[in-house]
Structure formats: structure tokens, C-alpha cells
């Protein structure tokens, strides 16, 4: 599918156009994934950041309280997430090589392995040998979003720091795959640039990865720009109508690729998208460092404002009431580790 076709699909406002896409996507999703929905919890380890990304609540110029969790602190956070029933965790940091080096991430992974079967990281991009170290320490997956594939726009919103290097970030999933990572998640931040152009470029990026490293399990995410403590750092012009089409179109283009959905989206829309193409979603999330057990809500500095605040048990009840199978553990990865 070329760029013009994608633009035409996203710009088509007819009700029957989105319904047709959604029905086709739902059929493919059920064929490939059944009614299984994998659940995970995010854990923010640090908000120290050396990059100035204008849209992010953690950016280096934002005057917030900077926190890096110590082992006894992130253990407490992990225990909390584990007690909610989740067995897959995504550990996140700001982009600071100084404050969260590989050694720190390996230590966190070692503790996390006591509580979780699936360990993924969303941190600063690294070299292949560093990813190999993390893989040996038990990390299964890497999440790295290009944010936007428009080079000019990329330069406008990434003003300083390592993240200014577009090409180094673009090559990050290739380095992670070379290091042996089993799961790699890509994505674009909807609202930064033209959605159709970013979508087309993401598809090309993913095709290139699939061709080069066919044994990796890939997934994609489409986070939309959100406020930070009700403050708008950048606005999103992708409405719900277009968002549904993006999810459905991606499923049609990539039948076997996982589609992730975070708590950036409101409950009503998250529930609707379950039927169309979503295969993995966060639940009971907190996007602040120490937000689960260490800081009260007033003192928190989130990366973005959460729209779906439902706890894990409520999400599980919802899934079961709609005949979905909530999955807490990826047994394939446990078998591969043994």
C-alpha cells in the first residue's frame, strides 16, 4: 500500500469505510490471536533525562523533581505490580546514560525476574553489546519509538541530547534484534507530524526489520500526544475516527504483528478497540517514578496524563465479560529461558 492510499483511507469520513476496515481487521485478529489479550504493567525507574523533547513531561528543561529509584524502592514498586496479578513488566526511564547506565538496568532486571516472567525495557537507545548484556540479564524485549519519521519535524521537536540523532535511533531495533532480543516494539507518537506519512514510514521500517530478523516477535504502538498535569506541551490532531482506522489498517497490513494499547486512551475507546485489533494492553498504570507506592498523587510528575485509571481487576472482569482471555504470562518465553 502506497502513501496516497493510506492518506485516502485516513481522510475518508464515511461511516461505512471505517466499519469495513474494522470488520476485516477484527476477523484477521481473531484468526491469528484468538481472543487472547496480554496484560502488562509499566514501571518508571527514573525521570532523569539529558534530551530536550518538547512534547515530553520528562524533558531536560522541564522543572520537575528528578528521581531515580534505588533497589529497595523499585523492589517495592515491583511487588505492588506483581500483587495486582501482572506477570509482564515494561521498565522505563528518561534518556540519561549517566543516571541509568547498563549496570543499573541489569540490577533492576535481576530483581524484576523474581516477580515477572516477561521483562521489557523502554530506555535510551544503546549499542549491540549493551543489549547483549541486558538480554543475558533476563530482558526479553525492547520498546523504541521513532516518534516521527519526518526528519525535519524530528529536528524541530528534539532540540538537544542524544535523541537528536535520528539515524542512531532508527537503527536501534536492528541492534536490539542482533543482540538476541525476542520482542521489539516500534511506534510513532501521533500528533507530531502527518499521520499518514508517519504510518507509511513505520510500515517500511517494520518490513525492513521483518526481512532482516524474521525470528523476532514484533509489535507496534500508536500513542497519541497527551497533556502532562493538564498542561499541553503539544496537541494531537488525530481524532478517534482516524485512530480506529490506523489500528485496523495496521492489522490488515501486518496480520501477525501485535498491537499495543496504553492507558493514554479513554476507557470507552480502549474497550471498543479490543474487538478490532488490539492484542496487548497496559492496566492499572502509573506514569510517574515511584507513583505506585512512594509518592502521593499531588507530588507526582508523570510523563503523560492517564485517561484509563481502571485497576487491573476491573480490566480483567471486563475482558472476561466480553469473552476475552486475559493473558498474564507468555509461556513461550519461559520455555525459551529454561
Tens of pLDDT along 28-54? 999 999 999 999 999 999 999 999 998
The pLDDT confidence band at residue 310, using thresholds 50, 70 and 90, is: very high
- Provide the pLDDT for residue 59: 78
The pLDDT confidence band at residue 333, using thresholds 50, 70 and 90, is: very low
- Provide the pLDDT for residue 62: 79
- Arithmetic mean of pLDDT over the chain: 91
**CA-to-CA distance for 304 and 58, rounded, in angstroms?**
9
* Over residues 298-327, mean pLDDT: 88
At residue 1, the 3 state secondary structure works out as coil
The pLDDT confidence band at residue 64, using thresholds 50, 70 and 90, is: confident
* Over residues 199-228, mean pLDDT: 94
The x, y and z cell numbers of residue 297, run together, are 498523587
Asked whether the predicted pLDDT for residue 274 surpasses 70, the reply is yes
* Over residues 261-287, mean pLDDT: 93
- On whether residue 337 sits in a domain, the answer given is no
- On whether residue 336 sits in a domain, the answer given is no
- Provide the pLDDT for residue 8: 95
**CA-to-CA distance for 105 and 95, rounded, in angstroms?**
13
Number of domains in the chain: 1
- Provide the pLDDT for residue 229: 59
**CA-to-CA distance for 56 and 302, rounded, in angstroms?**
10
* Over residues 296-304, mean pLDDT: 70
- On whether residue 331 sits in a domain, the answer given is no
Give kind and range of the element (H or E) at residue 252. helix 240-253
- Provide the pLDDT for residue 334: 35
Asked whether the predicted pLDDT for residue 232 surpasses 90, the reply is no
- On whether residue 279 sits in a domain, the answer given is yes
- On whether residue 99 sits in a domain, the answer given is yes
* Over residues 262-284, mean pLDDT: 94
Kindly state the greatest CA–CA separation across the chain: 54
Asked whether the predicted pLDDT for residue 301 surpasses 90, the reply is no
| Structural domain containing residue 79 | 3-325
**CA-to-CA distance for 33 and 258, rounded, in angstroms?**
9
Angle between helix 128-136 and 102-112 (nearest 10): 20
- On whether residue 49 sits in a domain, the answer given is yes
The pLDDT confidence band at residue 228, using thresholds 50, 70 and 90, is: low
Q: Yes or no: say if 279 and 29 are a contact pair by the CB < 8 Å rule.
A: yes
Hunting for cell 531536560 — which residue is that? 60
**CA-to-CA distance for 88 and 185, rounded, in angstroms?**
14
> Which of 334, 338, 335, 330 is closest to 38 using CA atoms?
330
The pLDDT confidence band at residue 335, using thresholds 50, 70 and 90, is: very low
At residue 142, the 3 state secondary structure works out as strand
CATH number of the domain that residue 283 is part of: 3.20.20.70
Amino acid at each position: 500500500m502506497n502513501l496516497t492510499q493510506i492518506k485516502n483511507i485516513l481522510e475518508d469520513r464515511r461511516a461505512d469505510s471505517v466499519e469495513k476496515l474494522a470488520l476485516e481487521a477484527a476477523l484477521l485478529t481473531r484468526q491469528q490471536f484468538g481472543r487472547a489479550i496480554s496484560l502488562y504493567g509499566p514501571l518508571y525507574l527514573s525521570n532523569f533525562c539529558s534530551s530536550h523533547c518538547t512534547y515530553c513531561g520528562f524533558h531536560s528543561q522541564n522543572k520537575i523533581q528528578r528521581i531515580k529509584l534505588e533497589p529497595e524502592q523499585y523492589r517495592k514498586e515491583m511487588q505492588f505490580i506483581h500483587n495486582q496479578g501482572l506477570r509482564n513488566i515494561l521498565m522505563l526511564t528518561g534518556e540519561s546514560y549517566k543516571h541509568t547506565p547498563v549496570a543499573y538496568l541489569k540490577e533492576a532486571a535481576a530483581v524484576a525476574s523474581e516477580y515477572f516472567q516477561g521483562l521489557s525495557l523502554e530506555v535510551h537507545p544503546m549499542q549491540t553489546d549493551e543489549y547483549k548484556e541486558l538480554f543475558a540479564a533476563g530482558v526479553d524485549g525492547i520498546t523504541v519509538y521513532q516518534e516521527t519519521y519526518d526528519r525535519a519535524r524530528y529536528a524541530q521537536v528534539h532540540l538537544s541530547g542524544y535523541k537528536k540523532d535520528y539515524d542512531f535511533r532508527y537503527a536501534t531495533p536492528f541492534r536490539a534484534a542482533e543482540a538476541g532480543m525476542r520482542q521489539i516494539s516500534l511506534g510513532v507518537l501521533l500528533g507530531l507530524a502527518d499521520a499518514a506519512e508517519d504510518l507509511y514510514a513505520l510500515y517500511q521500517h517494520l518490513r525492513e526489520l521483518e526481512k532482516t530478523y524474521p525470528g523476532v516477535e514484533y509489535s507496534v504502538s500508536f500513542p497519541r500526544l497527551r497533556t502532562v498535569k493538564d498542561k499541553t506541551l503539544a496537541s494531537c490532531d488525530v481524532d478517534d475516527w482516524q485512530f480506529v482506522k490506523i489500528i485496523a489498517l495496521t492489522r490488515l497490513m501486518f496480520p501477525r504483528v501485535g498491537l499495543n494499547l496504553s492507558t493514554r486512551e479513554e476507557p470507552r475507546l480502549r474497550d471498543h478497540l479490543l474487538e478490532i485489533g488490539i492484542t496487548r494492553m497496559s492496566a492499572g498504570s502509573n506514569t510517574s517514578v515511584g507513583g505506585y507506592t512512594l509518592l502521593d498523587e499531588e507530588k507526582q510528575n508523570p510523563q503523560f496524563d492517564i485517561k484509563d485509571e481502571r485497576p487491573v481487576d476491573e480490566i480483567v472482569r471486563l475482558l472476561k465479560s466480553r469473552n476475552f482471555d486475559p493473558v498474564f504470562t507468555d509461556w513461550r518465553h519461559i520455555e525459551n529461558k529454561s
